[in-house]
Amino acid sequence: MKVLVTGGAGFIGSAVVRYLVGLGHEVLTFDKLTYAGNLASLAPVWEEPRHSFQQADICDGPAVRQALEAFQPDLIMHLAAESHVDRSIDGPGTFIATNVMGTYTLLQETLRYYGALPAARQERFRFHHVSTDEVFGSLGPEGLFREDTPYQPNSPYSATKAASDHLVRAWHHTYGLPAVMSNCSNNYGPYHYPEKLIPLVILNALEGAPLPIYGTGENVRDWLFVEDHAEALVLIATAGRPGESYNVGGASEQRNIDVVKAICTVLDDLVPDAGIGAREGLIRYVADRPGHDARYAIDFAKLNGELGWRPRENFESGLEKTVRWYLANRAWWEPLRAGYHGERLGLTNGGAAAGAAQALGNAS
Ligand code: NAD
Ligand code: TDX
């Protein structure tokens, strides 16, 4: 297959690209290279003739059109997004631009491209939209998100992802675009930009810096190893039913405080440091995230029943792999830490108005 992957230089996108190329598919990575995009994450496939790269913005209709016409994909996997909840609190404008307007632009150009394909290629063509469980809002202590759970997004990030999900659904329902969707839980693993909880805590703990826990640390997330997710995404994109959505979860619910303590234990074991001591001593409770969702948990019975997928890693095995990867790949993360060193994000919305005007201006 020829697969165009938007956001393929990001954390999950690059795992998908590496997996697809490994399977023998021909892949075009289409990515704007924002702060979160990193060509070093594509190093394992960079020399492969089956892989090519185009730096471009999904909000740029002519660039999307040119890429589709030149590459002629059989499948589009759409992962490009602004993805960090804390940044969406500080500046929602870029989230509206990329996640909403960018998805709209991509859908329009995809529909145009799809409409011009011969019938046999239309039959095979799929558009896969990758989304998040955060669109479903926040759970209490019991229950799981299912595909039919009502949408109740609480952060600017999840509101823009919910909007993009609705657009994809409508383009399928109204225009007949053969689209599938998936909503997954929190990913972790190699090549994760160190602004999210797990990589941030690994790197801070390694250097003996404070480990910030928002609020009480009781919030629960369901952790999914990124390579398990990549496998699920390719299965959904190729074998999922158009018009359907599939939940993807890791069957690994953890309280944040337990995640941070587990990272401390693995690092104390692998890299003991007398100067730092037991790393749990670095934990600091800090101001809560505004609108912080209490609990996310996923029921992936549909994906398991229809397509036979389940995660290979449990949290313990996945976390140890992840920590070992960061220890072995300083050259990947040191330049990123030089640019962003874990400063607290998401406590103001001071830049929002200016950011919105600028971002939406660029998108039109
Ligand atoms: P990421 O932030 O690591 O990567 C996003 C990528 O998209 C980057 O390479 C960036 O350069 C690119 N990008 C951003 N704006 C773009 C634009 N306008 N045009 C083209 N490229 C652009 O994100 P991720 O964690 O890999 O997430 C990938 C997708 O999965 C997103 O749609 C996200 O909402 C979704 N998701 C992520 C998680 C998670 O835990 N990380 C969980 C559920 C869903
Ligand atoms: O320093 C921190 N301290 C802390 O306690 C950070 C960065 C986070 N947290 C908490 C907030 C959350 O309860 O840890 C939890 C995980 O936070 P993030 O890593 O920021 O992830 P989350 O907000 O849950 O969203 C992630 O999963 C769903 C991804 O960033 C989204 O893109 C995805 O859709």
Please tell me whether the overall predicted TM-score, pTM, comes out greater than 0.85 for this model: yes
Residue 297 lies inside a defined structural domain of this protein: no
Is 340 a residue of the active site? no
pLDDT at 360: 52
Residues 270/273/277/281 CA torsion (nearest 10 deg): -60
Nearest 5°: CA angle at 14, between 204 and 298? 75
For the cut 70, the answer to whether the pLDDT of residue 312 exceeds it is yes
Query: Does residue 67 fall inside a structural domain?
Result: yes
With respect to residue 356, please indicate whether it lies within any of the assigned structural domains. no
Percent share of the chain, pLDDT over 70: 96
193 catalytic? Reply is no
pLDDT digits (tens, 9 = 90+) for 256-297: 999 999 999 999 999 999 999 999 999 999 999 999 999 999
Q: Which atom of ligand 2 is nearest to the CA of 256?
A: 14
- The share of the chain scoring above pLDDT 90, in percent, equals 95
CA–centroid distance, 317 to ligand 2, in Å, is 20
Q: What is the CATH number of the domain that holds 83?
A: 3.40.50.720
| DSSP class of 288 | P
Three-class DSSP category at 254: strand
Given a cut of 50, whether residue 316 has pLDDT beyond it is yes
Is there a domain that residue 227 lies in? Answer: yes
Q: What is the mean pLDDT of residues 289-306?
A: 98
Per the annotation, the verdict on 285 as an active-site residue is no
269 located within any domain: no
Q: Which of 344, 330, 151, 175 is nearest to 243 (CA)?
A: 175
Give tens-digit pLDDT for 210-255. 999 999 999 999 999 999 999 999 999 999 999 999 999 999 999 9
State yes or no: pLDDT of 357 exceeds 50.
no
Q: How far apart are CA 339 and CA 193, in angstroms?
A: 11
Q: Half-sphere exposure (CA, 13 Å, Cβ side) for 79?
A: 29
Does some domain include residue 26?
A: yes
Tell me if 59 is assigned to some domain: yes
**Active-site annotation holder among 133, 165, 228, 313:** 133
Q: Is 121 a member of any domain? A: yes
Total tally of structural domains belonging to the chain: 1
Ligand 2 pocket residue status of 245, Cβ below 6 Å:
no
Q: Which residues constitute the domain of residue 34?
A: 2-188+223-248
pLDDT reported for residue 348: 81
